[in-house]
Amino acid sequence: MKKGLEKIKDIIVANAAKQEKKHEGKDHRVRHEQEHPIGDDIPHEACSVSTGIHGELTFGHGELDSYGFWQFPCGRCARAYEKKHPEGGQCWPFKIRPSYKNLLDRIRNLELALEEKEKELETERMRLAACGVVARANTWDSARKWRIPKEHIFYSASLGDVEDAVNREMDLRSKHEQIYDLIKLLKA
């Protein structure tokens, strides 16, 4: 599962890199707004609206390219329009980066959760191994040597059941040996 998350992360990072490369140089629609947002020095009256090649509205100022995208995109105007007219859908400039960031954050959270589950799984494996060790320690000496206290992290209810079964086995063996010794004594 971890390899699958790494593959998804690689795909997202690769797509983000493609977006960066796509917006380098002349076509700098997404990147430019983050580097040069419209501040108080440029009034929003300078912003205009157009329809992009994708069929949705675009907001910004400066030159309009042949695809309907502005030289200086304005996310603030686009978000204000979306808020005022929610039926109109999403306007450009889209929130591309936050979605990649959110996906990467989700992947990181999943990786952390996976690490935690792997630790839990390792604890359960050790609890299972402890059951096997105690099951084979079926003499009183080996039982004293290999059993772990109930406060130990690898102690479980299953281990307690195995210990009880081994104790019954050792008790029966002791009774069997006593009966065998008695029969041996009676035959003599």
Q: Indicate whether 13 and 86 sit together in one domain.
A: yes
16 falls within a domain: yes
Identify the pLDDT of residue 116. Answer: 94
Identify the pLDDT of residue 148. Answer: 92
Last residue in a domain, options 59, 94, 129: 94
Q: Indicate whether 90 and 6 sit together in one domain.
A: yes
Residue that has been written with the tokens 């859908």 in this structure: 89
Residue 30 in tokens: 């997404």
Q: Which helix (H) or strand (E) holds 63?
A: strand 57-64
Q: Indicate whether 72 and 129 sit together in one domain.
A: no
Q: Indicate whether 70 and 28 sit together in one domain.
A: yes
99 falls within a domain: no
Identify the pLDDT of residue 69. Answer: 87
Give the single-character DSSP code of 92.
B
Q: Indicate whether 6 and 87 sit together in one domain.
A: yes
Last residue in a domain, options 94, 113, 146: 94
Report the chain (188 residues): mean pLDDT per 10 consecutive residues: 64 62 47 42 74 86 87 87 86 68 81 93 95 92 92 94 94 93 87
Domain that holds residue 133: 121-187
Long-range contacts, stretch 149-156, CB < 8 angstroms, 24+ apart? 153/123, 153/126, 154/123, 154/126, 154/127, 154/129, 154/130, 155/127, 155/130, 156/127, 156/130, 156/131
* Helices 96-136 and 157-187, packing angle to 10 deg: 10
Identify the pLDDT of residue 106. Answer: 81
Identify the pLDDT of residue 125. Answer: 96
100 falls within a domain: no
Query: Are 143 and 166 a contacting pair, CB within 8 Å?
Result: yes
Q: Indicate whether 131 and 90 sit together in one domain.
A: no
Report the domain count for the chain: 2
Query: Are 145 and 137 a contacting pair, CB within 8 Å?
Result: yes
What is the pTM (predicted TM-score) of this model?
A: 0.46
